[in-house]
Amino acid sequence: MQSPQAGPRTAHVPQSILTMSIGAVCGPPRTVFDRLFGQRVERKPSEGVPNVSTMTSLPAQPTIDDLGTPLALVSFCVVDLETTGGGLDDRVTEIGAVKVRGGEVLGEFQTLVNPKAHIPPLIAVLTGITNSMVADAPRLSAALPGFLEFSRGCVMVAHNAGFDMGFLKRACTEFGYAWPNPAVVDTVALARQALLRDEVRNHKLATLAQHFRAEVTPNHRALTDAQATVTVLHGLLERVGNLGVHTLEDLLEFTRRVSPQRRAKRTWAAGLPKSPGVYWFVADGRDLAGRATRQVLYVGKSRNLAARVRSYFTAAETRPRIDEMVRIATGVEHLECSTELEAEVLELRLIATHSPRYNRRSKFPERRVWLKLTREPFPRLSIVRQCLADGADYFGPFSRRSGAEAVQTALYDAFPIRQCTTRLSPRRVSGACVLGEMGKCLAPCELAVTPQQYGELIEQVRSSLTTDIRPVLNAAQSRLASLIRRQRFEDAAVVTARLSGFASSAVRHHRVASLAGCPQIVAAYRQVDDWHIHVIRYGRLAAAARARPGDVPQAIARSAVAVAEQVAPPVGPQSAATTEETERIAAWLERPGVRLIDIEGDWSWPLHIGLAEGDLARHALPDPLPSDRPQQAASGASKAV
């Protein structure tokens, strides 16, 4: 039996997960208790049902990556450059460097450099380096390899490191040397973080060297300044060590202004598996009655749980709202998944269940609307919130009402169907509306057409929604021609955006509806050496499994089907899951290399339901463009589309 790894905090699992039946099967299926609480079942090969009394928790042991590199073992190369100026065209005149480790000086490097340029008098007075001093010095192309070899494998340290590293990088590029891209520590940034404002008047090298009682005084010579920077570095390391900075990783995060409180929480990532799964940050508290409460703050998913959770406590995470979330969180919990798709789906379900305050997307899947073609003597289009088993045709869903209204308007532009909401009788005349008088409606309210004649028009509307969208696009030609002729390109852009939205909505509708109509699909995808196997029922992920090397994928698939969630058929074109979940499943199924093991039902789309590149312009724009000035009209049409 495959044994899941235990994480740092898996004791609390939201109730919604307990009711899910996404089966992760690898060999014999895991129990729900085993899946959720990350525990291992110890049993002999001859044993069948596991004995709960023999279950033991896996210890969470930090890895080398979690511990980091102790500062005492890090070799630092403290470097300083003297140059002819600070511009991009200025040249290096001297290189000085000191290599230290564990407080001990390992070596020094110093050389003058012939810049092959005149040294300005002001620079010569400041540094004491004159043109005659560098006349016989090696050029930078000859001095650079020696410095790169001296600093090999070291962490670069400089005071105002951006200046020195910039010159070194440009020199490597100019002379064809590979820049080693080392970790860089800037003592200016480190001092600004470590020292209080009233301790030093500024963060210049001379000021800091005096503050830390350096034995040498900076004098704008490369080696002397590097030696002074060594003293400053050691003084700052002693200071930040009291703030919990003990490794190179801690030091780099400290210079990037990651608070000690946030860095201290990085232990939450210790012991997390490097596999797909979902994680959620929680905040423990108490209500007014003194009862313990737990709030889910944020839910995420990742293909590598350990790396993703660890990134929240580093400078890689720059979103202010997430920084606030990490500060108020009291813990992070996780659930390991068999596949990346299972992690995506579980993330969506948890977000929908808990509506975490720091998640922005996928929080309210119930806020979807549909475009309904009613069943009555004179059908009409209506925007509704749910599909019913009433025999009507539904199109969608739409995440916003404005999207449904745009598609509705596109259909009104193409077909003169009624837009009123009055229930009309096929035998009694009702009051006419202005649209009928304008010729934009067949006026069934006045019995100008019979239900059979009106039904033929409704069949064209239904065909555009279910089979072929081209009639809607073609119907816009006359209106676009008029707008282009009058150079109303902004209005033409609105019309074409509406048509484009209709086309994309049609694709989304049929992607969802085609999967919703399939009672079961079993598919597999090979990723590296494993097979990711999924069971989809009516557009909902019912089971996920992974066949590892040595397993028989077909047997794993049969086991996954056996433990898969039982899903009831949905109503209408909607799927048994949220639209976003079904779209994620559709995207996975459409990946090159996915193999269908078993399918019940028809998974297909109509041929003319989407748009290829250029189709919108070909169907919606008149040819030729109507205008007295062809070039200007063509330019406007391009803007519109």
Beta bridge partners of 382: 372
Contact 342/544 with Cβ under 8 angstroms?
yes
The predicted structure's pLDDT at residue 525: 96
The predicted structure's pLDDT at residue 300: 95
**Tokens for 196?**
């209080």
Beta bridge partners of 107: 99
Fold of 268-354: GIY-YIG endonuclease (3.40.1440)
Beta bridge partners of 282: 296, 331
The predicted structure's pLDDT at residue 64: 43
Cα separation, 571 vs 393, in Å, equals 11
Instruction: Tell which residue, 97, 161, 93, has the closest CA to residue 123.
Output: 93
The predicted structure's pLDDT at residue 621: 73
Contact 264/308 with Cβ under 8 angstroms?
no
Least confident of 198-202, 249-253, 456-460: 249-253
Comparison of pLDDT for 277 and 197, the residue scoring more: 277
Between 140-150 and 161-175, two packed helices, what is the crossing angle to 10 degrees? 120
H/E element, 638: helix 630-640
Mean pLDDT in residue range 83-104: 93
Contact 563/25 with Cβ under 8 angstroms?
yes
- Order of all β-strands in the sheet with 530-537: 23-25, 540-547, 530-537, 520-527, 595-600
Beta bridge partners of 285: 293
Neighbours of 178 (CB within 10 A): 8
Percent of the chain with pLDDT over 70: 85
User: With 90 as the cut, is the pLDDT of residue 148 above it?
Assistant: yes
Instruction: Tell which residue, 272, 268, 409, has the closest CA to residue 335.
Output: 272
**Alpha carbons within 13 A on the beta-carbon side of 134:** 26
Contact 210/232 with Cβ under 8 angstroms?
no
Model confidence band, residue 624 (pLDDT cutoffs 50, 70, 90): low
Cβ-in-10-Å burial (0-12, 13-18, 19+) of 19 comes to exposed
Name the residue type at position 421.
Answer: T
**Tokens for 176?**
């064809």
- Convert the pLDDT of each residue in 23-38 to its tens digit: 333 333 333 323 333 3
What is the pLDDT of the chain when averaged over all its residues? Answer: 83
**The one catalytic residue among 211, 220, 246, 608:** 220
Least confident of 22-36, 305-319, 418-432, 521-535: 22-36
User: With 50 as the cut, is the pLDDT of residue 60 above it?
Assistant: no
Mean pLDDT in residue range 610-623: 72
Model confidence band, residue 381 (pLDDT cutoffs 50, 70, 90): very high
Highest mean pLDDT among 45-49, 381-385, 608-612, 624-628: 381-385
Quote the distance between the C-alpha of residue 361 and its chain's center.
11
Contact 544/24 with Cβ under 8 angstroms?
yes
Mean pLDDT in residue range 481-491: 87
Place of tokens 């008088």: 437
Domain ranges of the chain: 15-63, 71-246, 268-354, 518-600
The predicted structure's pLDDT at residue 437: 66
Mean pLDDT in residue range 343-356: 94
User: With 60 as the cut, is the pLDDT of residue 371 above it?
Assistant: yes
User: With 90 as the cut, is the pLDDT of residue 282 above it?
Assistant: yes
Highest mean pLDDT among 9-13, 16-20, 44-48, 307-311: 307-311
User: With 80 as the cut, is the pLDDT of residue 487 above it?
Assistant: yes
Model confidence band, residue 14 (pLDDT cutoffs 50, 70, 90): very low
**Tokens for 119?**
């040294």
Neighbours of 315 (CB within 10 A): 15
3-state secondary structure of 299: strand
C-alpha distance from residue 240 to each of 154, 230, 233, 392 (Å): 20, 15, 11, 69
Q: Where are the alpha helices (DSSP H) in 159-221?
A: 161-175, 187-194, 205-211
User: With 80 as the cut, is the pLDDT of residue 339 above it?
Assistant: yes
Rounded to two decimals, the pTM is 0.65
The predicted structure's pLDDT at residue 172: 95
369-373 vs 393-398, strand pairing mode: antiparallel
The predicted structure's pLDDT at residue 265: 86
**Tokens for 618?**
């070909």
**Tokens for 395?**
């199109």
Helices and strands of the chain, counted as H and E runs: 24, 18
Q: Which CATH number fits domain 71-246: 3.30.420.10, 3.30.930.10, 2.10.260.10, 3.40.50.10680?
A: 3.30.420.10
Torsion region of 380: left, alpha or beta (phi above 0 gives left; psi -120 to 50 gives alpha): beta
Mean pLDDT in residue range 41-58: 33
Contact 345/22 with Cβ under 8 angstroms?
yes
The predicted structure's pLDDT at residue 622: 64
Model confidence band, residue 115 (pLDDT cutoffs 50, 70, 90): very high
Comparison of pLDDT for 365 and 460, the residue scoring more: 460
H/E element, 334: strand 331-336
3-state secondary structure of 38: coil
Burial 362-392 (b: 16+ CB within 10 A, else e): beebeebbbbbbbeeebbbbeeeeebeeeeb
Highest mean pLDDT among 211-225, 448-462, 612-626: 211-225
H/E element, 459: helix 451-466
What is the number of residues in the chain? 641
Quote the distance between the C-alpha of residue 19 and its chain's center.
27
User: With 80 as the cut, is the pLDDT of residue 119 above it?
Assistant: yes
Contact 394/369 with Cβ under 8 angstroms?
no
Name the residue type at position 47.
Answer: E
Active site residue 509: no
**Tokens for 94?**
């001297």
Highest mean pLDDT among 16-25, 336-345, 604-613: 336-345
Contact 567/540 with Cβ under 8 angstroms?
yes
User: With 90 as the cut, is the pLDDT of residue 112 above it?
Assistant: yes
Contact 385/370 with Cβ under 8 angstroms?
yes
Mean pLDDT in residue range 512-541: 94
Cα separation, 38 vs 3, in Å, equals 8
Between CA 512 and CA 520, with CA 516 as vertex, the angle to 5 degrees is 130
Model confidence band, residue 104 (pLDDT cutoffs 50, 70, 90): very high
The predicted structure's pLDDT at residue 299: 96
Least confident of 40-49, 558-567, 592-601: 40-49
Strands, E, within 213-330: which ranges? 277-286, 292-302
Contact 56/41 with Cβ under 8 angstroms?
no
3-state secondary structure of 48: coil
- Convert the pLDDT of each residue in 152-175 to its tens digit: 999 999 999 999 999 999 999 999
Cα separation, 327 vs 258, in Å, equals 11
- Convert the pLDDT of each residue in 125-144 to its tens digit: 999 999 999 999 999 999 99
